[in-house]
Amino acid sequence: MSRIGKKPIEIPAGVTINVTASNEIVVKGPKGELRQLVDGEIKVEINEGSVQISRPSDQIKHRAMHGLYRSLVDNMVKGVTTGFEKKLELVGVGYKATNQGNILDMALGYSHNIIMEVPKELKVSTETLKGSNPMITLEGSDKQLLGQVAAKIRSLRKPEPYKGKGVKYQGEYIRRKAGKAAGK
């Protein structure tokens, strides 16, 4: 029994949802347009002001896809109305980040700077305030792409457990380890 899959998705004002013949859902809103291909066995019904997703049977495969596609469509609706944002914090001496448009230039303690091109669907901004760690802010309407790019940036220098240095999500807790004990 899928509790998530059965919940209807409310369509806010200014958002249009269409289902094409090839079972592709197109969501248009003030922040852009998103597309998602849906499995042919899953049924998408658009009623007045809401979207309902249903499955043909109680097979494990159908139950899994039911909740998945409901969550994906819900995230698309939220993305085109309010958008999503992720903040990354650079913790470490000499760690810096600057951007020019969608080109991100990071100094992460290596012998060279890491230059990364962020996809054009996302908006990137950097901020360095005196007394606090540099921040990278990613904004966009596509939650999947946003999470993937944020994970890629984090993987360039993962936070280590001894000093806590590295690239971490804002608010992420890093379990700290004790250093090497002094010998007798």
Percent of the chain with pLDDT over 90: 81
* Tens digit of each residue's pLDDT (9 = 90 or more) over 114-165: 999 999 999 999 999 999 999 999 999 999 999 999 999 999 999 999 999 9
Task: Answer whether 3-81 and 84-169 agree in fold.
Answer: yes
* DSSP tag of 150: H
Given the structure tokens 């944002």, which residue do they identify?
85
Q: Are 87 and 100 in contact (CB under 8 A)?
A: no
- CATH 3.90.930.12 is held by the domain 3-81: yes
SS3 30: coil
Domain ranges in the chain are 3-81, 84-169
Nearest to 63, CA basis, from 84, 96, 41: 41
* Alpha-carbon gap, residue 95 to 106, rounded angstroms: 7
Nearest Cα to 53, choosing from 3, 2, 8? 8
CA dist 97 and 134 (Å) reads: 7
Q: Which CATH number fits domain 84-169: 3.30.70.920, 3.40.50.1100, 3.55.50.30, 3.90.930.12?
A: 3.90.930.12
The pLDDT tens digits along the chain (184 residues) read 468 888 999 999 999 999 988 889 999 999 999 999 999 899 999 998 899 999 999 899 999 899 999 999 999 999 999 999 999 999 999 999 999 999 999 999 999 999 999 999 999 999 999 999 999 999 999 999 999 999 999 999 999 999 999 999 999 999 999 888 765 5
